[in-house]
Copies of this chain bind each other. A is one copy, B any other.
Amino acid sequence: MPTMTMIESIRDAHAVAMEADETVVVFGEDVGYFGGVFRCTQGLQKRFGKTRCFDAPINESGIVGAAIGMAAHGLRPCIEIQFADYMYPAYDQIVSEAARIRYRSAGDFTVPLTIRMPVGGGIFGGETHSQSPEALFTHVAGLKTVIPSNPYDAKGLLITSIEDDDPVIFLEPKRLYNGPFDGYHDRPVIPWSKHPLSEVPEGHYKVPLGRAAIRRPGSAVTVLAYGTMVHVALAAARDFNIDAEVIDLRSLVPLDLDTIITSVKKTGRCAVVHEATLTSGFGAELCSLVQKHAFYYLESPIERIAGYDTPYPHAQEWAYFPGPDRIGHALSRVLEG
């Protein structure tokens, strides 16, 4: 099986979906001729033609709004927002429109739309190239929110998302594009080809939404993570010698609550990790669900390890980033508690 980087597997997912279904169209800022600033759509315009993959004016609201109109016509648009930090101008179209058209029209019109966007820090991108706005989507009924942590899942989840009949927010941890990242920013970069989950089948396959993956079985504490933080949490467990069960959520809505609760009932302890700012982050939802469904099994308070409640700083990136050290210490607290 070929190994791929995350960029390659995302590109491949596009091609497979476009090949399988003529109604799939791809557009966004710089995605056409150039193939996207992260090159995730490279080659598609050449292969599928200019009306299947094209550049867009810099207007995120217009891109999403036009895609909604296309979806209402029967197309299946898969669009790119250049950075998640730039989705805010489109937020009205996402929240008030894409998410609610099926409901408000009682199924008369639907929006089979995928909105891809790179998220997360770790590239010295400063406050507007580092954000993780997943909680701003998970709060919105009618949206699904997906976030892969490796090339295999990225391809399978993206194909599933494009084929899904509802709007899916597809978050791509940009720090993982070219290699797994365990949070040790000062160590040499490891290429994806060294990681088993870079083995990506050719052609069409799906990874279902709402199914988590246990990346490391363990008995001492359940760690809930997604995207980049899966790798960082695994590093923390390894380096702090903690027998953590690390769960990669993969999709936040729908959520695989069974896997989570089964694990917490087994370990009796839980921690949640994300890059997004702490307050009202998706970690809060996870905490609430765990304490509700596994209350009598919990032996210590659930810890959240998250971005601080500040904008994402530039120079202090590695003091801000919830690295293995911060996670490790938090896990130790959970074990002691």
Judge whether A88 is part of the interface by a CB distance below 8 angstroms: yes
A-B contact pairs, 27 of them (CB 8 A): A61-B89, A96-B128, A100-B311, A103-B127, A104-B311, A135-B135, A136-B136, A138-B279, A139-B276, A139-B279, A139-B280, A139-B281, A140-B277, A141-B309, A141-B310, A253-B279, A280-B280, A280-B282, A280-B284, A280-B285, A284-B284, A284-B285, A284-B287, A287-B292, A288-B304, A292-B301, A295-B298
Judge whether A21 is part of the interface by a CB distance below 8 angstroms: no
- For this chain, the copies found in one complex come to 2
CA distance A61 to B201 in the complex (A): 45
Which residue from B88, B128, B291 sits with its C-beta under 8 Å from A302? B291
Query: Max chain B CB contacts within 10 Å: which of A280, A285, A287?
Result: A280
- Chain B residue nearest to A126 in the complex (CB): B104
Q: What distance in Å separates the Cβ of A322 from its nearest Cβ neighbour in chain B?
A: 15
CA distance A213 to B53 in the complex (A): 56
Contact indicator B288/A103 (Cβ below 8 Å): no
Judge whether A300 is part of the interface by a CB distance below 8 angstroms: yes
CA distance A95 to B96 in the complex (A): 17
Complex contacts, A288 vs chain B, CB 8 Å: 283-284, 287-288, 302, 304
Given contacts A91-B88, A280-B280, A295-B301, contact A142 B311 (CB under 8 A): yes
Which residue from B99, B285, B304, B311 sits with its C-beta under 8 Å from A279? B285
Which residue from B92, B104, B293 sits with its C-beta under 8 Å from A89? B92
Which residue from B104, B277, B287 sits with its C-beta under 8 Å from A141? B277
Contact indicator B311/A303 (Cβ below 8 Å): no
Kindly identify, within residues 266 to 323 of chain A, every residue whose CB is under 8 Å from any CB belonging to chain B. 276-277, 279-285, 287-288, 291-293, 295, 298, 300-304, 308-311
Given contacts A85-B96, A135-B139, contact A303 B292 (CB under 8 A): yes
